[in-house]
């Protein structure tokens, strides 16, 4: 199992991801496969490191660099190959539980607002950390209008999936409003803040 | 991309599972996952939208190895 370096070189990793997407062609099969290969190489345990790399791209990348990664994410979504991490779908305390593959934003959402049975009901991210990470990933996707529209639609589908046992009911409702807000207005920070506030009102 | 099942008690964001290799257990700030350390800090290095000459034409696997080499042992 890979282990995170003592001092991960986040910016270097982000530059390598940007370079790879550009060299292989944003929206092309190669760039999609690159993201999949990176996530497979990290494994589920280190999937959050991939999210950190996406955040680095957004925070430090020039516009064309961010757009190349956003376009690759959009095409990944079109093909149902969004780079994903997995979490327990139901009852993580039970042996042999089913696992659910989750894209970056819904993964962060469940890390911050897990089901009562998952992680013993304690969140792994604070609302502030969720805001930082989710906003960064969403702002990255905002670099490509299609990416935002597609991902917002994807989040709505996740929220509306009646068979998905991953997401608490109140989080599902808030996620739907969150996605609709983001789809209407490319303002990630505002959408995240409203999402956090609505969950706070719901007692989460 | 669902990988091998984790142990039932594993926490994907726990500082234990994501603690940097050879780093002291107390390295992350209280309550903060290790992989969030320094996010947004450390200057304003700009990531460029270009590919170094010696990295052009690499395979998917070679590009992926360059990303992973900066992150994991």
- For chain B, the domains span 14-37+45-73
The span from the CA of A172 to the CA of A183, in Å, is 16
Q: Residue holding tokens 């290799």?
A: B21
Q: What is the pLDDT of residue A86?
A: 86
Closest to B28 in 3D by CA, of B41, B17, B40, B15: B15
Q: What is the pLDDT of residue B28?
A: 47
Q: What is the pLDDT of residue A120?
A: 55
Gap from A126 CA to chain B (nearest CA, Å): 8
Surface-to-core class of residue A198, CB atoms within 10 Å of its CB (0-12 exposed, 13-18 middle, 19+ buried): middle
Q: Which of B:4-43 have CB within 8 Å of A?
A: 4-6, 8-14, 17-23, 31-36, 38-40, 42
State the sign of the Cα–Cα–Cα–Cα dihedral A105, B49, B56, A14: negative
The span from the CA of A110 to the CA of A133, in Å, is 13
Q: Which of B24, B41, B61, B63 to mutate to test the interface with A (most CBs of A within 10 A)?
A: B63
Run of H or E residues at A184: helix A169-184
Higher pLDDT, B33 or A186: A186
Residue B32 has pLDDT above 90, yes or no: no
Gap from A78 CA to chain B (nearest CA, Å): 16
The span from the CA of A144 to the CA of A101, in Å, is 24
- The string of DSSP letters for A140-167 reads HHTTSHHHHHHHHHHHHHHHH-TT--SS
Strands (E), chain A: 85-88, 99-102
Q: What is the pLDDT of residue A127?
A: 92
Out of A3, A34, A45, the one facing B21 most closely (by C-beta) is A3
Beta-carbon separation of B44 and A60 below 8 A = yes
Residues present in chain A in total: 204
Q: What residues of chain A score a pLDDT lower than 50?
A: 91-92
pTM for this predicted structure: 0.84
Q: What is the pLDDT of residue A24?
A: 98
Most confident of A59-68, B10-19, B43-52: A59-68
Q: What is the pLDDT of residue B12?
A: 43
Q: What is the pLDDT of residue B7?
A: 41
Gap from B4 CA to chain A (nearest CA, Å): 8
The tokens of A82 are what?
Answer: 């969004």
Chain A contact set for B33 (CB, 8 A) = 48, 124-125, 129
Q: What is the pLDDT of residue A124?
A: 83
Query: A22: helix, coil or strand?
Result: helix
Q: Maximum distance among all alpha carbons in chain A?
A: 47
Instruction: Using pLDDT thresholds of 50, 70 and 90, give the confidence band for residue B25.
Output: very low
Q: What is the pLDDT of residue B42?
A: 62
According to DSSP, residue B7 is labeled: P
The span from the CA of B8 to the CA of B30, in Å, is 24
Q: What is the pLDDT of residue A186?
A: 85
Instruction: Using pLDDT thresholds of 50, 70 and 90, give the confidence band for residue B56.
Output: very high
Most confident of A91-105, A137-151, B3-17, B43-57: A137-151
What is the predicted ipTM?
Answer: 0.90
Q: What is the pLDDT of residue B9?
A: 39
Out of A22, A38, A44, the one facing B64 most closely (by C-beta) is A38
Beta-carbon separation of A53 and B60 below 8 A = no
The span from the CA of A147 to the CA of A139, in Å, is 11
Residues present in chain B in total: 73
The span from the CA of B19 to the CA of A7, in Å, is 10
Beta-carbon separation of A45 and B17 below 8 A = yes
């Amino acid at each position: 199992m890979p282990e995170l370096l003592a001092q991960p070189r986040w910016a270097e990793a982000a530059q390598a991801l940007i370079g790879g997407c550009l060299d292989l062609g944003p929206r092309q099969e190669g760039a999609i496969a690159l993201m999949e290969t990176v996530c497979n190489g990290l494994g589920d345990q280190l999937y959050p490191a991939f999210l950190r790399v996406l955040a680095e791209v957004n925070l430090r990348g020039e516009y064309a660099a961010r757009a190349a990664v956003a376009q690759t994410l959009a095409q990944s979504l079109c093909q149902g190959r969004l780079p994903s991490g997995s979490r327990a779908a139901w009852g993580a305390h039970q042996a042999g539980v089913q696992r659910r593959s989750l894209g970056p934003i819904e993964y962060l959402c469940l890390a911050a607002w897990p089901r009562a049975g998952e992680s013993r009901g304690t969140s792994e991210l604070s609302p502030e950390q969720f805001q930082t990470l989710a906003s960064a990933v969403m702002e990255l996707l905002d670099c490509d209008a299609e990416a935002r529209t597609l991902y917002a639609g994807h989040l709505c589908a996740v929220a509306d999936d009646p068979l998905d046992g991953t997401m608490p009911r109140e989080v599902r409702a808030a996620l739907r409003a969150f996605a609709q807000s983001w789809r209407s207005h490319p303002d990630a920070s505002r959408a995240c803040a409203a999402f956090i506030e609505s969950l706070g009102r719901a007692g989460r | 991309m669902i990988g091998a099942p984790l142990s039932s008690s594993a926490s994907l964001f726990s500082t234990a599972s994501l603690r940097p290799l050879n780093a002291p257990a107390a390295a992350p700030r209280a309550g903060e996952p290790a992989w969030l350390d320094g996010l947004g800090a450390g200057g304003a290095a700009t990531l460029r939208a270009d590919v170094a000459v010696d990295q052009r034409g690499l395979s998917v696997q070679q590009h992926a190895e360059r990303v992973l080499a900066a992150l994991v042992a």
